[in-house]
């Protein structure tokens, strides 16, 4: 494999293809990232990159361990790099600041799917140019402008040219052109410095078809701190973007983002870094393609500037749909979808129902697509904590209330562990059953929680209420009571199920630090599941009074709705979302006159 093939593998997010290669003139592997808060590490980064520039080009891969073999280093296995461990923009800026003259075409990026690495590609530079860095001192704020060091690549190692080697290099130049007079030397230095200065990059350079748009956008945002370009413009999907300096060198730079049909947006570099990191868990491994691009809050078409101290930003046009990236005060950024409704049901919608035929089931299934959940585990301590909380959970309260409203005091206090195969370090299941006087199951509450498996890629939390048998329930609460649920009771049951599934069950694991790999969802479902004597499922409206929704198709045995949004929202927001979702569901299932005032 040569450099071209290696770069193709990295661009295809297949860094594993490089394993068993030997470090060479063009390949260097690092097991862990440069710790750029250390001056020595900054010097090491500059040395490694400059050595490849002086040696015909190459690539540095961070996150792969090597093993010694016959006095060579062989790429052995992928260690991986956490998203928070490397700031790509900081790496790029340090390369620009440390190396003279400026390198052309250096790429810094991520590669990989499950295990990710960082690569720094240094393409071949002009053959008549020598690249230098300040002589290393290992201390902050100690760089001298009157010193120089020349790193070179020699086989699979990098070293500094010694003082006598630099002297011989300079002498070779003198022999070729003659020793200049002091005046000529001064003029030569001035000409050399001038020629080493890179030509100024213009706004829009690199995207000729959109250069005018970017210039106009930059002009609209003049006076907001936007300085000159830090690199050429580039395209990503429908967006045109360009890195810009701040007018004050000590301030972080900007990313100018232009999406057709939207006002221009300038985003401070730290916020842009947070946007890209929010989508790092996406299955396709293209962060911006997942989370989308910043959306200006104003609807009047004016341009917008998002400063470094911003607390939130709305994003759209990504595969995840509309969302918001926000951070609490002194907290970490986190992306959440903006609420929306659909009828799409995930593969977990009917999980844990095999062999069951209750008269009525009301359940909430919360899909939690955390990125990197393989290390999660349900510990004994957390299981015991949940077992103590279930008897006083919202779901217990909803089950108890169903009986109390029918004149019976049947508290849902006894929760038991489900069968053995549903309780492990990866799964948890707990039912609570209220039986009739003759011992027949009447009504039941249940919760289930499962970490990903080969069949299910997301973490799933489920909670629900089940009327096992209407006749047994009638016998339990006593004569004269209607066991058909009122619509408000069904609403309360679903609301309690959602609260328990989203607010209680995730406490079985410690996943608060994990980002999303896709938008989380909550599925609310009402279903009649016990066939009548003719084998046909009874209509849902025989078990739940749907009349407040108006006239509709009462023959359906099931209705469901999916809420894409943050599962763990304040109680008032969850109540409002439940009402809106149920009305959306009713209209989509034929109750076209359903209104919010039908629900509490």
pLDDT in tens, 507-538: 999 887 788 989 999 999 999 989 887 888 99
Q: What is the DSSP letter of 370?
A: B
Q: Is residue 265 included in any domain, yes or no?
A: yes
- Residue range of the domain that includes 314: 208-336
**430 shares its domain with 453:** yes
Helix, strand, coil % in the chain, rounded to nearest 5: 30, 25, 45
Q: Tell whether 456 is covered by a domain.
A: yes
Query: Is-cis flag, bond preceding 101, omega within 30?
Result: yes
CB contact at 8 A, 382 and 425: no
What are φ and ψ of residue 262, in 5° steps? -125, 155
Q: Within this chain, do residues 389 and 496 fall inside the same structural domain, yes or no? A: yes
DSSP alpha helix (H) spans, 433-570: 470-477, 487-503
Degrees to nearest 5, angle at CA 65 with 62 and 66: 120
Q: Which residues of the chain have pLDDT under 50?
A: 196, 420
Q: Is residue 197 part of a domain?
A: no
Question: In this structure, are 584 and 533 located in the same domain?
Answer: yes
Distance CA 395, CA 391 (A): 9
Domain termination residue (choose one: 161, 180, 195): 161
Q: Are residues 223 and 153 in the same domain?
A: no
Contacts of 347 by beta carbon, 8 Å cutoff, 6+ apart = 455, 456
Same domain, yes or no, for 366 and 415? Answer: yes
In a shared domain, residues 313 and 346: no
Pair (149, 233) in one structural domain: no
Task: Give the H or E element holding residue 442.
Answer: strand 441-450
Q: Is 280 helix (H, G, I), strand (E, B) or coil?
A: coil
> On the CB side of 167, how many CA atoms lie within 13 Å of its CA?
3
Does residue 50 belong to any structural domain of this protein? yes
Cα-based angle 173, 176, 177 (whole degrees, multiple of 5): 85
Q: Identify whether 190 is part of a domain.
A: no
In this structure, what DSSP letter does residue 323 have? E
Which pLDDT does position 237 carry in this prediction?
85
At which of 161, 185, 220 does a domain end?
Answer: 161
CA distance 459 to 480: 43
The verdict on 120 and 258 lying in the same domain is no
Q: What is the pLDDT of residue 192?
A: 55
Q: Is residue 195 part of a domain?
A: no
Q: Would 80 be classed as within a structural domain?
A: yes
Query: Same structural domain for residues 290 and 379?
Result: no
Specify the DSSP class assigned to residue 317.
S
pTM over 0.85: no
Residues 246 and 308 sit within 8 Å (Cβ to Cβ) = no
Does one domain contain both 305 and 235?
yes
Best CA proximity match to 519, nearest among 373, 341, 323:
323
Number of domains in the chain: 3
User: What is the CA 525 to chain-centroid distance, rounded?
Assistant: 28
* 113 and 224 belong to one structural domain: no
- For residues 316 and 346, give the distance between their C-alpha atoms in angstroms, rounded to a whole number: 23
Q: Which residues, 6+ apart, have CB-to-CB distance to 570 below 8 Å?
A: none
The pLDDT of residue 250 is 77
Residue 145: the pLDDT is 65
CATH number at residue 54: 3.30.950.30
Q: Would you say residue 88 lies in a domain?
A: yes
Mark whether 321 and 393 lie in a shared domain. Answer: no
Final residue in a domain of this structure, among 146, 161, 176: 161
């Amino acid at each position: 494999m040569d450099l071209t093939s290696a770069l193709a593998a990295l661009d295809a997010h297949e860094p594993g293809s490089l394993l068993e290669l030997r470090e060479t003139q063009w390949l260097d592997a690092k097991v862990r990232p440069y710790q750029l808060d250390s001056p020595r590490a900054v010097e090491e980064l500059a040395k490694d990159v400059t050595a490849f520039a002086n040696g015909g080009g190459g690539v540095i891969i961070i996150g792969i361990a090597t093993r010694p073999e016959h006095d060579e280093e062989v790429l052995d296995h992928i260690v991986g790099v956490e998203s928070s461990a490397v700031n790509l923009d900081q790496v790029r800026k340090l390369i620009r600041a440390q190396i003279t003259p400026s390198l052309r075409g250096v790429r810094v990026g991520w590669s990989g799917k499950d295990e990710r690495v960082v690569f720094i590609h240094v393409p071949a530079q002009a053959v008549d140019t020598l690249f230098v860095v300040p002589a290393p001192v290992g201390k902050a704020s100690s760089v001298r402008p009157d010193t120089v060091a020349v790193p070179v690549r020699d086989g699979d190692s990098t070293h500094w040219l010694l003082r006598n080697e630099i002297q011989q290099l300079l002498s070779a130049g003198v022999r070729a052109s003659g020793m200049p007079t002091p005046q000529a030397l001064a003029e030569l230095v001035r000409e050399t410095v001038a020629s080493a200065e890179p030509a100024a990059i213009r706004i829009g350079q690199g995207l000729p078809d959109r250069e005018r748009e970017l210039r106009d956008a930059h002009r609209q945002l003049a006076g907001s701190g936007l300085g000159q370009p830090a690199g050429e413009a580039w395209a990503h999907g429908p967006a045109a973007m360009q890195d810009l300096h701040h007018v004050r060198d000590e301030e972080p730079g900007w990313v100018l983002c232009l999406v057709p049909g939207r006002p221009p947006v300038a985003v401070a570099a730290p916020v842009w870094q947070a946007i890209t990191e929010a989508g790092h868990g996406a299955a396709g491994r293209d962060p911006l393609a997942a989370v989308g691009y910043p959306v200006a809050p104003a609807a009047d078409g004016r341009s917008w500037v998002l400063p470094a101290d911003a607390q939130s930003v709305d994003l759209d046009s990504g595969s995840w749909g509309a969302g918001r990236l926000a951070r609490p005060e002194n907290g970490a950024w986190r992306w959440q979808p903006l609420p929306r409704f659909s009828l799409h049901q995930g593969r977990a919608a009917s999980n844990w129902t095999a062999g069951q035929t209750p008269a009525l089931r009301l359940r909430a299934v919360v899909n939690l697509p955390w990125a990197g959940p393989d290390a999660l585990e349900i510990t004994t301590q957390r299981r015991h904590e949940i077992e103590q909380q279930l008897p006083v959970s919202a779901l217990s309260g909803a089950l108890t209330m169903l009986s109390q409203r029918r004149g019976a005091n049947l508290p849902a206090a006894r929760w038991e562990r489900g069968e053995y195969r549903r309780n492990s370090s990866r799964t948890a299941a707990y039912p609570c059953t209220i039986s009739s006087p003759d011992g027949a199951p009447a009504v039941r509450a249940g919760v289930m929680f499962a970490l990903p498996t080969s069949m299910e890629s997301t973490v799933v939390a489920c909670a629900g209420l089940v009327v096992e048998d209407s006749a047994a329930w009638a016998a339990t609460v006593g004569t004269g009571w209607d066991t058909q649920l009122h619509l408000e009771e069904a609403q309360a049951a679903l609301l309690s199920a959602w609260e328990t599934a989203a607010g209680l069950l995730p406490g079985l694991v410690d996943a608060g630090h994990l980002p999303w790999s896709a938008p989380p969802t909550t599925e609310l479902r009402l279903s009649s599941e016990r066939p009548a004597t003719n084998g046909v499922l009874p209509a849902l409206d025989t078990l739940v009074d749907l009349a407040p929704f108006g006239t509709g198709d009462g023959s359906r045995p099931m209705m469901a709705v999916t809420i894409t949004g943050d599962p763990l929202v304040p109680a008032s927001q969850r109540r409002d979302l439940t009402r809106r979702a149920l009305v959306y569901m009713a209209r989509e299932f034929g109750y076209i006159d359903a209104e919010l005032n039908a629900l509490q």
